Amino acid sequence: MEFVRDKEHWLRKFSPQEWIRAAMSEMKRAEQAYGRKSVRAGLAGARRAAGMALNGALLVEPNDAWGRTYIEHLLALQVAESAPEAVRKAAKALMEAAPLANQLVVLRSKDQDLRVLEAAKDVMAHAYAVVVRNESPKAG
């Protein structure tokens, strides 16, 4: 199926590859946020990055069960039998990661932040593989 851009459509405003590139940019912002100790922004960015990449996959393999939002995509991916177990676990890790609570002292480790970022990267890698697998060969 050939991509047709529609600037008014939430999903078709970007091509599959453009969604992947947008996800990579969002991941850089998430990493920077964690670097600044901004856990809420880091987690939100990691989830957004994974969801943006999944938008690219949705363009080439439509699935109404995945919904429209990044969070809906991640929730659906947790139970998607078509996805590898490691990817389902990564989606679950992203959804189970908790932002900072309203506590006076919050004990966090860099490892917790890295796990969230790695989970997002696993989901993004899966989405990229789906996009590449479905690309039509270029006429030579």
Domain count, the chain: 1
In a domain, 2, yes or no: no
In a domain, 52, yes or no: yes
In a domain, 40, yes or no: yes
- The range of the structural domain enclosing residue 125 comes to 16-133
User: What pLDDT does residue 139 have?
Assistant: 45
In a domain, 66, yes or no: yes
pLDDT in tens, 44-86: 999 999 999 999 999 999 999 999 999 999 999 999 999 999 9
pTM summary value: 0.89
The tokens 């860099």 sit on which residue? Answer: 110
Average pLDDT over residues 14-43: 96
In a domain, 86, yes or no: yes
CA proximity to 120, closest of 98, 99, 91, 100: 91
Say which CATH number the domain at 52 has. 1.20.120.330
In a domain, 100, yes or no: yes
In a domain, 68, yes or no: yes
pLDDT in tens, 95-114: 999 875 555 445 556 788 99
Sign of the dihedral through C-alpha 114, 85, 122, 42? negative
User: What pLDDT does residue 125 have?
Assistant: 98
In a domain, 140, yes or no: no
User: What pLDDT does residue 104 have?
Assistant: 46
Q: Is 127 exposed, middle or buried (0-12, 13-18, 19+ CB in 10 A)?
A: buried
